[in-house]
Amino acid sequence: MVVTRALLMKIYTLVIFLFVSVCYVDQSHASQTFVVLDDKGKRLSNIIVEINASMSIEDKPARKSPTLPNEIKSPIKMKQEGQQFTPHILLVSTGQEVVFPNDDNVFHHVYSFSPAKTFEVTLEQNVTSEPIVFEQAGIVELGCNVHDWMLGYIYVSDAEISGQSALNGEVSFDLPPGEYSVSVWHPRISKEDIQTHHKVVIDDIAEGVSKLHKIELKLPLYPSLTGYDSVEATDAY
Amino acid sequence: MPTSRYISLSCLPIKIKLLASFFLITITLLTATAYSVSSAAKKHSMNLLIENMKISKSVISDHINDTIYVIDKAANNLTSDFTVKSLILNVKNDETSLKVALNNFANRFETSEFALTDGAGKIQVASENFTLNAIDDIDIYAREKAVWLAMNDAYYLNVIVPVKNTPLSRNAMAYLIFTKELNEVFDAHLSSLSNYEVNAITQFDGALDGLSASGRDKDTVIKIFESQTPFTGETPSAINYSSINEEVFYSKTQSLDSINQQVWLMLIAPEDVAFLSYQSLFKQLSILLLLSMVAVSAFALFIANRISTPILQLSKLTANIGQGNDNLEIPQGGAVEVNKLAYAMGEMNIQLNRRNNKIHKLAFEDELTKLPNKNALIRHLTDCFRQPDFSKVTLILVDIAKFTDINEAVGYQAADGLLQLIAARLAADFSDSSFVARVSGNQFAITYHCEHSDYKQSVSDFIAEIDECIHQPFIVSNMYIGVTAKIGYASSDRQINDSRRLTQSAEIALKFAKQSFNASVEYDASLYLFDARKLQLMSEISDITVNGQLSLHYQPQLNLRTNRVESVECLARWLHPEEGFVSPDLFIGLAEQTGNIKKLTRWVICEALKQHNEWKKRGFSLQMSANISAIDLTDESFVSFVSQSLERYNVSASDLMLEVTESTAMEEPEVAITALKNLSNIGVKLSIDDFGTGYSSMAQLKKMPVKELKIDKAFVLELSKNADDQSMVKTFISLAQNMNLKTVAEGVEDQESLNLLSKFGCTYGQGFFISRPIDKNGIIKWFNQTHYPVGASKTENSQI
């Protein structure tokens, strides 16, 4: 697990590095950094951040953020590794295909009764499933019928811009000035906080200057599930 | 003794007292024990009740929780099942399949109803009787696993399990509900889990309802629930207390519904069930108390008997001692103290007996002679009279004559010795057949029991024997002493039929014997009559000097030389209106005994002097002789009386001759000499009367200022025939002449005697031959008729 996690972190670092590099390459839009803080002001990682331009703003971004995963048309992997889903939370855009590779040497039976996507797929050892398309936006909670402890989420986002906070709790978007509605999601974030839309205004004056937008939660996080401290912990980063 | 209405404790027998004390102590101790034990037991019992209630409550709660747990577990397993989950989450497409499946599960879980809600509690599918449409806050209930909800006027236990996407899902997509009605939960099995009554209390819109799993009626259950108050003195929350129709219930209530507080579990313990252990303990304690009471009573009785039995025996012993019984049983085997007391009482009895014997001896034995005394005699006689075969007894009283003289002569020690010898001799001779006793100083008593046909003769013979026995001289201190006895005796007869009369009769006989010349006198009824008459006379004697019954008779005295009647002796005569003539010897004696003699003497002197004066007037000048008593000699005023009387009646003192008997003069010679000297000093002449009968001391006689000796008639009556008397009289006369005294011979009965007296030189003669005593009228006549010249010649008178 440790090795896996270290590897994961390296990958994340690489991705962010690339992402940051791209931001600097494209100077047409200013890079806007968001940080999600809990009720005590602590930075939270792995938080889904969705950004939609407010209806009142005329100057809508011309296109979706080039960094969004749904730009990548190839299927995204939700692996079964060490009898657990990896990643714990997978952010996808609507219409995205996801494959479920079984890297374990045990049988898995992945399913979800979530309204966003009800499906089931049985996976023999070291077999990758056929791609499954997630068309409906929403949270698809994944379980394994033979391993009760396995839990994973696929967040199907239909937001204009979405991302996941990095280990340092930040997520950056290249946004033109305007007024945006920002919402966050994580299984530990309270219902109220999830339903809250944070209004963020990006000025022209601030263009070229990387600005940190704080998204502050009002309520404390739900406790992490037993055995999920490592994957659901937000303060370990 | 005043009767008291209150029975004092101190009057009760020791047994009862002891028993009462033991009882009191035991009851006190046992009551205290019972009280402390029972209060401790009650406390313990109460604690036990509280503890048991707590346990019962836990057991019942746990059982209900178990029921919930079992259903919950089963339902959870169900919702974890992928197929079921698929069916549930696919409800909208296939409701029927799910309903059938859930119905099956509900039966399997022994629940009556079931329902399926969505994640917000809205009912999706439900069994027929599950009438709710939605359940608010179902997520909260689900967290509690179960909730009591009211439906169809009943409460149902709803076990709610969430249906989740995955087991780890935070939110439920649906909820599955299995329900059990209240009465299915509170069934007989639940009741059987507790010793107490298991009840459920529910509330519908503020109205209470009750359900008893143990069969108690609903109303009572509700009442108990409503009226229960924390039991005082105990931890308030521990247990409650209610009283319904005077029946006491202890109860404990617990809410089964932590969210809505509408359903309670209530355990009820009626008082008898609550304190079952206490009551059985109390019963045991009571039995124990009763047993110890019996034991203590028995012990107390035993102790009391140990103490009271010897005491009762002692009191019996004391009573026996009191009655003088000799055959005594000294109780033993009691306590040391009792034994000591018993021993002391035994000793006391011995001492008492000794003293009794001593007293008996003192009372019934004469100390000097060791003979029985008068008491013993009386007792003996009483016994005799009491004997059934008693025929006749004679009591003989033997009086040792002149014992006073013997006493004087030999001294009292020798006299005592004499008495002892007499006693010893009488006892030796007669005590075989007779009872011999010493009844007074010189008096002995001998009984004679006669079976002889000639009674009189046999008694006479017996008395002769006694006389003979006494007559033998006694040797006391080397002296021969001869004694004579006066004997009086009486025999029992129809009148003399008890000891008192017999002794009295014998005493009377003895008295007469002593007065007579006879050695022995047998009692005769006349003696008794005489004695009775004497008493009658005694009572009348004080009056004779005034009532005219007393008179003086006069007996002339003839001067044998001049052959003239020169003097007269006056003699008192009592003519009793009924008795007639009373002997002077008798009434003078009576007057002396009754203290009337002084009065009598004075009356006589007055009367005589008056008469003398009268005679003188008639020309008869005579010397008047009058008798005076020994008592008069002791009267100090007597001399002055005489001189006053002489003056009063104008009589010359020399014409009065006062006579005292020889025995009177010699009894107390010194007193007599003094008195006589005083009389002599006033000129009165004095004479010794009854000379020769007493024991005159010549020395004393010589000292006495007497002029005359009167020779007792005993020597004169037969003078003419008796040579002894003649020589005696002759001796007396010569004695008188030698002492220069005149002589008077009394009892001159014939001429020969008169001649002899004249020849012997006697001065005067007095007697029937000259004249018997004549009353005052008769004597005047006699003076006038007699051939003797009357009145003293002057020449004669001056002679001597």
Domain boundaries, chain A: 29-65+160-223, 66-158
Give the H/E segment covering residue B618.
helix B597-618
Residue of A nearest to B174 (CA): A113
- Whether residue B518 is found in the same domain as residue B552: no
Please state the ipTM of this predicted complex. 0.73
Is B764 contained in some domain?
Answer: yes
CATH number of the domain at A29-65+160-223, out of 3.40.50.720, 3.50.50.60, 2.130.10.10, 2.60.40.1120? 2.60.40.1120
Q: In sequence order, which residues have a C-beta less than 8 Å from that of residue B276 and are 6 or more positions away? A: none
d(CA A232, CA A227): 9
- Whether residue B506 is found in the same domain as residue B614: no
* Residue ranges with strand state E in B57-110: none
Tell which wins on pLDDT, B799 or B749: B749
| Across A113-122, B481-490, B519-528, least confident range | B519-528
According to CATH, the topology of domain A66-158 is Immunoglobulin-like (2.60.40)
- Domain residue limits at B629: 548-776
Q: Which of B82, B89, B169 has the CB atom closest to A145's CB atom?
A: B82
b vs e for B643-682, b when ≥16 Cβ sit within 10 Å of the residue's Cβ?
bebbeebebebebbbbbbbbebbbeebeebbebbebbbee
User: How do residues B396-452 score in pLDDT, each as one tens digit?
Assistant: 999 998 888 888 888 888 889 999 999 999 999 888 888 899 988 889 999 988 776
Is B706 contained in some domain?
Answer: yes
Q: What type of residue sits at position B371?
A: L
Mean pLDDT of the region B153-179: 89
Domain count of chain B? Answer: 5
Is B693 contained in some domain?
Answer: yes
| Across B432-436, B484-488, B694-698, least confident range | B694-698
Strand-pairing partners, residue B467, are: none
Tell me, what's the pLDDT at A209? 59
- Whether residue B107 is found in the same domain as residue B246: no
CB within 8 Å: B89 and A114: no
User: Residue B762 maps to which CATH number?
Assistant: 3.20.20.450
Is B515 contained in some domain?
Answer: yes
Mean pLDDT of the region B258-280: 82
- Whether residue B648 is found in the same domain as residue B581: yes
d(CA A14, CA A7): 11
Task: Report the gap between the CA of A166 and the closest CA in chain B (Å).
Answer: 24
Task: Report the gap between the CA of A150 and the closest CA in chain B (Å).
Answer: 8
* The pair of three-digit structure tokens given for residue A166, joined into one six-digit string: 């990095």
Q: Which of A113, A118, A149 has the CB atom closest to B168's CB atom?
A: A149
Contacting residues of A for B167, CB less than 8 Å apart: 143, 148-149
| Count of CB atoms situated within 10 Å of the CB of A215 | 21
**Beta carbons of B174 and B88 less than 8 angstroms apart:** yes
Task: Report the gap between the CA of A2 and the closest CA in chain B (Å).
Answer: 23
| Across B155-164, B516-525, B760-769, least confident range | B516-525
Boundary-marking domain end, from B240, B259, B274: B274
User: Residue B432 maps to which CATH number?
Assistant: 3.30.70.270
Q: Which of B165, B168, B170 has the CB atom closest to A113's CB atom?
A: B165
- Whether residue B479 is found in the same domain as residue B583: no
B624: three-class secondary structure by DSSP: strand
Percentage of the residues of chain B whose pLDDT score is greater than 90: 18
Contacting residues of B for A221, CB less than 8 Å apart: none
Task: Report the gap between the CA of A227 and the closest CA in chain B (Å).
Answer: 10
- Whether residue B751 is found in the same domain as residue B616: yes
Cα dihedral value B267, B272, B277, B279, nearest 10: 160
Q: Write the Ramachandran bin of B131: left for phi over 0, alpha for psi from -120 to 50, otherwise beta.
A: alpha
Angle between helices B499-515 and B374-386 (to 10 degrees): 130
User: Residue B106 maps to which CATH number?
Assistant: 3.30.450.20
Decide if A143 touches B, using CB distance below 8 A.
Answer: yes
Is B617 contained in some domain?
Answer: yes
- Whether residue B263 is found in the same domain as residue B292: no
CB within 8 Å: B85 and A113: yes
- Whether residue B226 is found in the same domain as residue B310: no
d(CA B45, CA B2): 57
- Whether residue B561 is found in the same domain as residue B478: no
d(CA A16, CA B522): 185
Boundary-marking domain end, from B230, B258, B274: B274
Boundary-marking domain end, from B506, B523, B540: B523
Residues of chain B whose beta carbon is less than 8 angstroms from a beta carbon of chain A are 80, 82, 85-86, 89, 165-170, 173
Give the H/E segment covering residue B432.
none
- Whether residue B268 is found in the same domain as residue B285: no
Decide if A107 touches B, using CB distance below 8 A.
Answer: no
B132: three-class secondary structure by DSSP: coil
- Whether residue B152 is found in the same domain as residue B255: no
Q: What are phi and psi of B96, to 5 degrees?
A: -60, -45
In the predicted model, is pLDDT for residue A8 greater than 70? no
Tell me, what's the pLDDT at A154? 94
Q: Which of B89, B166, B170 has the CB atom closest to A143's CB atom?
A: B166
Mean pLDDT of the region A98-127: 90
CB within 8 Å: A118 and B167: no
How far apart, in Å, are the Cα atoms of A18 and each of A173, B196, B680? Answer: 13, 77, 203
Decide if A148 touches B, using CB distance below 8 A.
Answer: yes
